[in-house]
Every structure is written in C-alpha cells, then in structure tokens.
Amino acid sequence: MTPAQAVDTPKLPACDFMPPAYDGPSREEVLDMRREFLSPALLTFYQNPVMIVNGHMQWLFDEKGERYLDMFAGIVTVSVGHCHPKVLDAVREQNERLQHTTTIYLHPNIAKFGKKLASTLPGDLGVTYFVNSGSDANDLAIMMSRLNTGAYDIIALRNAYHGTSPTTVGLTALNTWKYPMPQGFGIHHAVMPDQYHGPFGYDDPEAGAKYAADVQDVIRSTTPGKIAAFIAEPIQGVGGTVELPDGYLKPVYEYVRAAGGLCISDEVQTGFGRTGDNFWGFQNQGVMPDIVTMAKGMGNGTPLGAVVTRPDIAECMGQRLHFNTYGGNPVSMAQGLATLNVILDENIQGRAKEVGNYLIDGLNDLQSRHPSIGDVRGRGLMLGVEIVEDKKTKVPSATRCATVHERCKDLGVLIGKGGLNGNVLRIKPPMCITKEDCDFLCRVLDIAFTDAEKA
C-alpha cells in the first residue's frame, strides 16, 4: 500500500509504470554508510529520510515500491519527466557508440546542441560554452564579464543563490550556505526586491523601479563607479521563490550599463519554459541580458550547464585556452539535446503555463482558507507558498512548514522547502504533471495545513 492509499487519505492519481523489485542494501544500511563515509555537509529532507530508487515521469518510487508524486523534480532539475523515454533512447544510443571524448576532437552532438540552444535565445545570444553545473556556468560568466570590461566589481542581490564554488558562494547571499571564511571579494549585494516582506508591496505599481534604485545606490557607494556585471535570478529559487517585481530589471540594466557593466541572467531554475509565459525568465521582464547561465532543467538530470553570450563578448575567451574535461561530453550533449527537443516538440512551456495557472488557482483557494498561508507566488511551474504564524504579522513559521512538508510526504507528495527562514514550500515539479496531479497536491496540502494549524 502506498502512503497515499491509507484509509481517509486522497488516492494518488493512476500510474501504469511498475518499478522493478529493489534488491540493494536497506534504507538503514544506506543511511549508516552515508553517516560513516560521506561528508556531514550533505543534507536530507524528513525525519526519516526517504530512499528513492526508481523514477518514471512525475513519479518516484522508494525501495519498497511505494510511489510518490514528485513536486520538486530533484531540485528543479528534471524538466520533462524522470527517465523520459525519448531522453533515455538518445542517451542509450550514445552510450553504446561513444561515452567520452573532449572538445579536442570534433563531435556532432555538441555542435548540434549549441545550434539548437541558440535558436531558443533572442538577439545575438548565440555562442555557448558548455560546462557541468550551474556553479561552473556562473563562475565562467563572472570571469568573462571581468575580462570584457576590465572592471572587477559585481552586483548581486541579497537572498540570491548562484552556487557554492569559491566565486559563486560570494554571489550567494543566504547565510545558511556560507562558511565562515573570506569570500566574495569585489561582490556587492543590493536589496532583495521582496514585495511580500519589503517596504514596497504588491499594491505598489512603482515597486520595481523603487527597488531598482538600490542597485544604482550600491554602484555609487560601494564600487569605483565602473563595474563588471550585475547578476540575478528572475525568480530567486533557493531563496524561496521570490519573483523580481515587474519593471525591476529595465532600470537596473540601465544603471549597470551606464557603469560599463554586463547584465547576467541566471536561468539555472527559470529557463527552458518553466515560468510558462516565456522560454527564459528574463523575457518576463522585457529585457535583454548580455550573458545567460543555465543548468538543471537543461539536462533533465544529467550534470550539464552552459554560458550563452554574444559573439563580441565570447571573443575574450580566445586570448587563452579554456578547457573543461566533461563540458561537451557526447552523452550529456545527447541528453541535453533530446531534452530540449522534447521541451520544444511537446510544448512543455505551454503546459507549464496552463497547468501552472491551474495550480496557482488551487493554491490561492487554499490560501483563502488557511490562516498560515501568507503568500502564494511564482509563475508557471515555479511556485512558492510562504508559511507564517499569522497573516497580519507575517512572522515566518519554519516549524509549521516542516510539519506540512513532512505530512505531504506521508500522504504521497515529495515537495521542496526553502527560503532564508525555511518557511517556504517550493513547488517545482517535472513539467509533465497533469491537472489531476495538481488536484491531488491541493487535497494533500489541505489536509497537511489543517493538521498543522491544529497543532
């Protein structure tokens, strides 16, 4: 019996996939091995961590064959569905031909993927450097900005997450991810444009411009006046699904360009149609970045990232050699290209919009009935539900969030959680989910919130 089939609990939507029987080490043995042999930095969700051994589209299965609806997609990484058959076929075929070569030889996959990727981006954003992760991509984007401008200073936003490598952890502005050591030399953080908690709310049509003014102030007061770049996520993901207000990036990009800087859009979470209205998150703000970084959903789970920019900016890389052993690997290129083909051929962006809007309606309805749902926000299938002590004070409730999160798991839904205060449910599923799955999620959340609010 799956968790969601227990008496009086909503029934999981049907699924015709049967995972093979699991015959590996037990959950307890794996937990013990992790404790003994793996870094204590590794985090697990849930009081009793779940072990996941199979996946099929929007479904995950534990070692006992119990099925869960995946509402977090790894961490916003499985874009078109776990083990999507077309992606699997492409990878299987490439694995049997050639698993590894580097860019010192020609290979069709990297060339075809670069060309296809360029077709999804506007303007002259058409030159790609493939890497292995989002941190890699942001590292490279920062280096290219500094090389191009001859300036060093970078502006990022508070509450941002751009990775954990030595450079990107300096861009990241969430204390939970920062070890106490020197980092972020030359990086300055502007105010987080948070319309829920900040001084300029959802009811202020000028909020975008008002928050943007802080970027100009940071340039004036903390840099030599010339900067290398500004970097932002169109919707802050790890920070708890905080969307940049309408009208924010236009003035920010003007201030940055006036100071000689380049504009970088970190699309690691928001790219590839996830926000529904547009293929890329920056398009929701009507701006044109100079550099776009991407990873996660790009590879449907394979370690894959990229930096895309204009030819005139990319040119600076030609003055030296730059090499990445696995960047452009033929198997990850096959997986990325097959994923992109599915996204385009199966209108995944349109689906993210339609199903996402349907889910937002369901979440808004829950908000109207539950005193602890302070805010429902996001776009497409990148949504957040902020949990508070009460709606007037907006005091964050990490405890209630943890209770709801745990209960959702017991009822058959794996969902994300985050935000600096640990009080935001993050809903970012594989984009193949259906409206029926959304109905199921909302029923589960209703039960979980009702219980948490009684406690």
Torsion of Cα atoms, 84 then 90 then 95 then 97, to 10°: 170
Six token digits for residue 236: 């802050």
Stretch that binds ligand PLP, among 13-21, 161-169, 186-194, 395-403 (CB under 6 A): 161-169
Note whether 125 binds ligand PLP by CB under 6 A.
no
Residue 104 burial by Cβ neighbours in a 10 Å radius (0-12, 13-18, 19+): exposed
- In the shown chain, the binding pattern of residues 262 to 281 toward ligand PLP, with x for contact by CB under 6 A and - for none, equals ----x-xx------------
Could you identify the residue written with the tokens 């900067």? 227
> Least separation, in Å, of the C-beta of 221 and ligand PLP?
26
| Rounded-to-integer distance, Cα 418 and Cα 241, Å | 9
Q: Identify the residue among 56, 84, 146, 162 touching ligand PLP (CB under 6 A).
A: 162
| Rounded-to-integer distance, Cα 411 and Cα 1, Å | 12
Six token digits for residue 356: 């996402």
> Least separation, in Å, of the C-beta of 454 and ligand PLP?
34
Note whether 252 binds ligand PLP by CB under 6 A.
no
Q: For helices 330-345 and 108-120, what crossing angle results, to 10°? A: 30
| Rounded-to-integer distance, Cα 45 and Cα 51, Å | 10
> Least separation, in Å, of the C-beta of 232 and ligand PLP?
9
| Rounded-to-integer distance, Cα 76 and Cα 427, Å | 9
* Coil, strand or helix at 62: strand
> Least separation, in Å, of the C-beta of 267 and ligand PLP?
8
Sign of CA dihedral 285, 288, 292, 298: positive
The residue number whose beta carbon is nearest to ligand PLP equals 134
Q: Kindly tell me which of 161 and 200 has the beta carbon lying closer to ligand PLP.
A: 161
Of 48-107, which residues contact ligand PLP (CB under 6 A)?
Answer: 75
Q: Identify the residue among 134, 240, 271, 362 touching ligand PLP (CB under 6 A).
A: 134
CA angle 426, 427, 431 (to 5 degrees): 145
Six token digits for residue 57: 């589209």
Q: Kindly tell me which of 2 and 135 has the beta carbon lying closer to ligand PLP.
A: 135
Q: Kindly tell me which of 407 and 428 has the beta carbon lying closer to ligand PLP.
A: 428
Residue 369 burial by Cβ neighbours in a 10 Å radius (0-12, 13-18, 19+): exposed
> Least separation, in Å, of the C-beta of 133 and ligand PLP?
3
Note whether 243 binds ligand PLP by CB under 6 A.
no
Task: Report which of 404, 337, 334 is spatially closest to residue 370, judged by C-alpha positions.
Answer: 404
Q: Identify the residue among 10, 184, 208, 237 touching ligand PLP (CB under 6 A).
A: 237
Q: Kindly tell me which of 79 and 372 has the beta carbon lying closer to ligand PLP.
A: 79
Note whether 295 binds ligand PLP by CB under 6 A.
yes
| Rounded-to-integer distance, Cα 213 and Cα 255, Å | 9
Q: Kindly tell me which of 137 and 408 has the beta carbon lying closer to ligand PLP.
A: 137
CB-CB contact of 291 with 146 (8 Å) = no
Task: Tell me which H or E stretch contains 352.
Answer: helix 348-369
Q: Kindly tell me which of 219 and 268 has the beta carbon lying closer to ligand PLP.
A: 268
Six token digits for residue 424: 């935001």
Q: Kindly tell me which of 94 and 138 has the beta carbon lying closer to ligand PLP.
A: 138
Stretch that binds ligand PLP, among 22-30, 134-142, 211-219, 444-452 (CB under 6 A): 134-142
Taking the mean position of all CA atoms in its chain, how far away is CA 427? 10
Q: Kindly tell me which of 161 and 282 has the beta carbon lying closer to ligand PLP.
A: 161
CB-CB contact of 415 with 76 (8 Å) = no
Q: Which residues pair with 388 in a beta bridge?
A: 396
Note whether 133 binds ligand PLP by CB under 6 A.
yes
Q: Kindly tell me which of 135 and 403 has the beta carbon lying closer to ligand PLP.
A: 135
Q: Identify the residue among 161, 200, 253, 255 touching ligand PLP (CB under 6 A).
A: 161
> Least separation, in Å, of the C-beta of 445 and ligand PLP?
23
Count, residues near ligand PLP per rule CB under 6 A: 15
> Least separation, in Å, of the C-beta of 296 and ligand PLP?
6
Q: Kindly tell me which of 121 and 156 has the beta carbon lying closer to ligand PLP.
A: 156
Residue 315, CB half-sphere, CA atoms under 13 Å: how many?
6
Task: Report which of 215, 212, 208 is spatially closest to residue 154, judged by C-alpha positions.
Answer: 215
> Least separation, in Å, of the C-beta of 294 and ligand PLP?
9
Contact positions vs ligand PLP (CB under 6 A)? 75, 133-135, 138, 161-163, 233, 237-238, 266, 268-269, 295
